[in-house]
Structure 1
């Protein structure tokens, strides 16, 4: 379809407040909106945690998992689930992302379906010289992490709270390497995960390179809904290699060309959680919107 004339004037539209674009992008800070702070009249949900030390997928690791259950939980109705990687980063009520507070506000207002948040920290090898297993878990292009969620973490959550087994009601969220992880889990197991939020994904550092532009161009579309966020000043933003911004834009372009139900949000910041935190409520509203995927 060609555009041979002026852009159309729309009589029905969503009006976006004017926000000046920063000239200097070296120190951009995004303010949180009202859904990222406790709101008057919104009851706080309940957060519990457990330690997971018996992983068959990642032997020898331990990690903390938090479960956030917004107020109004009805055990007779299996809940939708959003799985957040780097769990405490996303749950910390004093941090940038404040996932539990956001879920409380959006569930209470009916803007998303009733959703339990599961916040999963990466694994640690306690006492090891290199204890962090985060990159091995999150950057790999294989189904181990998806299997870990499906066979270890979600069954433990389900033992405590009835949750859905409908893949259209399970979202996976993460940032940086956690964005790789979220995308890969849904890509390899769309039978179980169909909603993706990937912030500032580190596609550039996947061990064998970013596979998704080619895969999206050559694989029949999968039933996924994908929210991507990228940053104009992400790592290597003006470099010919290891360019985090460019690799995210390649994935976004491939999703567009393949006809996926996706959205791209670009921030004027670097490789941090500032813009992610500001738009997390919008990302959750978008992936959980009720109309069918494109």
Structure 2
């Protein structure tokens, strides 16, 4: 449920996203312009963590595919330390780790860990799968060809791949805190709905979700045929949220009013429906006296298009909000 404290945090985050351009009276801000703050840039006095990879991984859940992943280790990471670090998993790892991109997640982690604004955190950045023996070396920032079947599906396939296959292999070498409260998963666009789906199916493992320009639309929808049933798309999530027990999840939603509007749906409307459904679920639980958990929700709407730019500028404050009760 949104408290006054949460509302204040939301207002603060929205205000901070405007500071970078508000003082520049000579150049009017254009829709979708959201510059990075210093927290997303490499700082000379901040020790840099180590980004290992890319490594290739062949999944049994998604047979016939290969993907790449990177592991971020904070500057002072000690595998044998008594206190284990938290875990951040981010989809579309090739873009999340791009030092010249919109997200720049490793740089943000360096700065916030140094500030003690968030706990020590291991980052795992994963590309979608590609149907090939080896990951193509010419993709760059482009999407592999198995992205939609993995990211936009509502099944538990991706959560099984991540939780049962990949993360156990990583934990053998790089132990992290096993508590679900210490696990954060995020993404942008289809990577965002993928992150939400993992936590929806497995809140016993992931309870914190970053959703930037989330594709809660009908990309995954496949109509029924004579011998196959209908496959639902992400546009049914608002109804599922309203008619399902509340999961113990902390969720940050970001989108822009100029996001996509196409045959799959309207992205901005879809994200607003997600927010309203989460809020309704909390209000209904309060009304009926439900003693169970509540969704811990925050959001920022902007005027951007289908771009990571606004979410990237907000990311430092999103992470602060996610870990606000860990670093008091």
TM superposition score category, shorter chain reference: 0.7 to 0.9
Larger deviation, residues 260-269 vs 138-147: 260-269
> How far, CA to CA, are the matches of 1:264 and 1:54 in structure 2?
35
Residues 68 and 126, structure 2, Cα contact 8 Å, conserved in 1? yes
CA change 1:270–1:26 in 2 (3 A) is farther
Matched ranges for 1:1-294 at <5 A: 16=15, 27-75=31-79, 76=81, 77-126=83-132, 132-204=145-217, 205-207=219-221, 208-209=232-233, 210-236=235-261, 242-259=265-282, 260-290=295-325
Q: Which protein, 1 or 2, shows the higher relative CO under an 8 Å CA cutoff with sep ≥ 6?
A: 2
Shift of 1:211: 2.1
CA change 1:272–1:64 in 2 (3 A) is same
SS at 1:78 equivalent: coil
Aligned residues: 275
Residues 128 and 144, structure 2, Cα contact 8 Å, conserved in 1? no
For residues 243-275 of structure 1, what are the alpha-carbon distances to aligned partners after superposition, in whole Å with 9 as ceiling and x for unaligned?
111111000111111222111111211001111
> How far, CA to CA, are the matches of 1:272 and 1:231 in structure 2?
9
Please identify which structure carries the higher helix content: 2
Residues 119 and 326, structure 2, Cα contact 8 Å, conserved in 1? no
When normalised by structure 2's length, the TM-score is: 0.78
For residues 117-163 of structure 1, what are the alpha-carbon distances to aligned partners after superposition, in whole Å with 9 as ceiling and x for unaligned?
100011011279x9610000000001110111111211121122111
Residues 62 and 123, structure 1, Cα contact 8 Å, conserved in 2? yes
For residues 208-239 of structure 1, what are the alpha-carbon distances to aligned partners after superposition, in whole Å with 9 as ceiling and x for unaligned?
23122112211221100000111100001xx7
Shift of 1:291: 6.3
For residues 53-100 of structure 1, what are the alpha-carbon distances to aligned partners after superposition, in whole Å with 9 as ceiling and x for unaligned?
431111111111100111111322221100000001111111111000
SS at 1:95 equivalent: coil
> How far, CA to CA, are the matches of 2:277 and 2:322 in structure 1?
19
> How far, CA to CA, are the matches of 1:193 and 1:283 in structure 2?
17
Which structure 1 residue ranges, 5 or more long, are not aligned?
Answer: 1-9
